[in-house]
A and B are shown apart, each in its own frame.
Chain A
Amino acid sequence: MDFVSVVRVALRALTRNKMRSILTMLGIIIGVGAVIAMVGVGQGASEQMQAQIAAMGSNLIIVQSGSRQAGVVHIGFGATKSLVPADEAAMLQEIPLIKSAAAGTSTHQQVISDNNNWGTSIQGTEPSYFDIRNWTFDLGASFTDRDVTEDNNVAVLGTTVYENLFPDGSDPVGKTIRIKNLPFTVVGSLQPKGQSGMGQDQDDNVYIPYTTLQKKLSGQNWLQNVSVSASTKEVTDSVEQQITNLLHTRHRIRAGQHDDFQVRNLSDVADAANAASGIMTILLGSIASVSLLVGGIGIMNIMLVSVTERTREIGIRMAVGATEADVKRQFIIEALVLASIGGVIGILFGLITSWLISAIAKWAVDVSLISIVVAALFSAGIGIFFGYYPAKKAANLDPIEALRFE
């Protein structure tokens, strides 16, 4: 039988029992739709996570001052005084794979504008910090390296601080704010960053030159951290190791001794987050696949019923010259047509569901072309796989018995 005739015969057989065909298709429709929507949700979440990680900074490595032991008391990270600006300078000088670095130290202070005040974290840093973290300015610009060397009273505001100090939304650049009773000139405000992966508000900060913070606010000459940007993603591990070695030498830490610093490589964090979101996508997809599998079993069930009902028809076809292969093909094509139509409707259903999820739940849902193609092929595959057994059963019927079947 030529292909067109086979498909026509299959369509006729399926329209003969419309309700049954539709209900059978429903299994595939829900299955395919669920797979597309769930994989879309997973991929959307994954992309959102990657975007957040990218926002943390490019090839970012953070060197933190370490823990300190005072007697039996273990003081947490950031407690040692051994990480100093000279360490940063040494890193930049001796490790060529480092693109840039920014010293960091912080304190908590009340910040006062004309009519408002806001208690926030004061971050002392360098202009390179904003490049390393890929942060962009909403208004104004960063303070300069010269501000750092001259420990000038200049400040960059995070969005949250800006909104609290200037609730009228006026341009803060050039305005004076007071930190610990010292006047600071606002030079810029940052674009909102939102929460960090750990749930901190990254916009609730004021950035000033670290030298200003050390000399005028905290009176400390050590650093809490140094943010380092490696030249490429591939060398971050190597840079991490070189920093560790360098600081071991500079801080005279012998083998077996407790480090007084900690190096964190954010590309590791990114990899872990990617792996986690990948697992989530697979998990969602496989849960949805179960319904596709159930849909496939539904097809098999109906095809088996159909073969039994049409035993006589099969006998007639065999008597007039259908080979076993002809009969097998007829039933497989029937299952395939059933699954394919269900698959196409299921794809539409999945697209609509994804759209609803992103519209109602405000989730990032990313339905990729590949998941549609895979779903389409998969539903066709289900048709062939679950149609095969009933088709084989039909083909193996004895024509004499089949003709006698009432």
Chain B
Amino acid sequence: MSEARIDVQVEHKHAPPPSEKKHPNTCPKCGSHYRDDELEAALWVCGHCGHHFPMRARARIDWYTDAGSFVEEAADVRSEDPLDFFDLRPYAERLSEAELNTGLSEAALIGQATIDGHPVELSVMDFTFMGGSMGSAVGEKFSRACDSAIERGVPLISVTSSGGARMQEGILSLMQLPKTVCAVEDLHDAHIPMITVMAHPTTAGVLASFASLGDVTIAEPGALIAFTGPRVVQQTTREKLPDDFGLAEQNLRFGHVDAIVPRPAQREHLSRLLRLFA
């Protein structure tokens, strides 16, 4: 019994129980509360403690790119339901619901834009669409972003935020790992730079494929970057987890990312990298 109590304590440090669910505009770290317009003006970063709230894909694209420069590509690529997958609810129903709730057709947006005048290709994931999970449509969109970058000879900026492969597509979602890896290899062969921004969370299948293959990789403060998340590691191995297990800061210390860049500084950071690779 005493062991079980210890487990629960370890768990609480990383994942507060769902019963304590707070308003989405309340900072989970320091409890500060913000109006929508305040959060938006602060790029969804807590002005008090620096906590990074999730940022939607379109808002991020607006923040990174020159006004009006973004042209979306492959907007018509959508998921199908090859397995007729049914868990507690049908996959098709989950997809329609995600579409309605997010205003997106999939968990990734791709397109061309300029950043401080530098033409780039963008692939940006949105965690609110089924946990940013990667199924066939996300794999295809990312691959097309690689092709488009090669075709136009411009760098690819890839922003990742994903719980991993989309289980509802079974083995086909696992095959999106080698698929996106092959797309990145084509990019490398064409000497096109890829800059990866890892947002919270970048885990499992996405970390184990294209997210880890950037020429330069930056992470957002506090982002969870792990192949296996803390809850599963704790449950399977019963190991005592370090306080910052799997977080961006630990990944920097162990050499898995090049830098941690707070959101307000990211645009300038990307711009500098683009000047270096130009």
A and B: partners? no
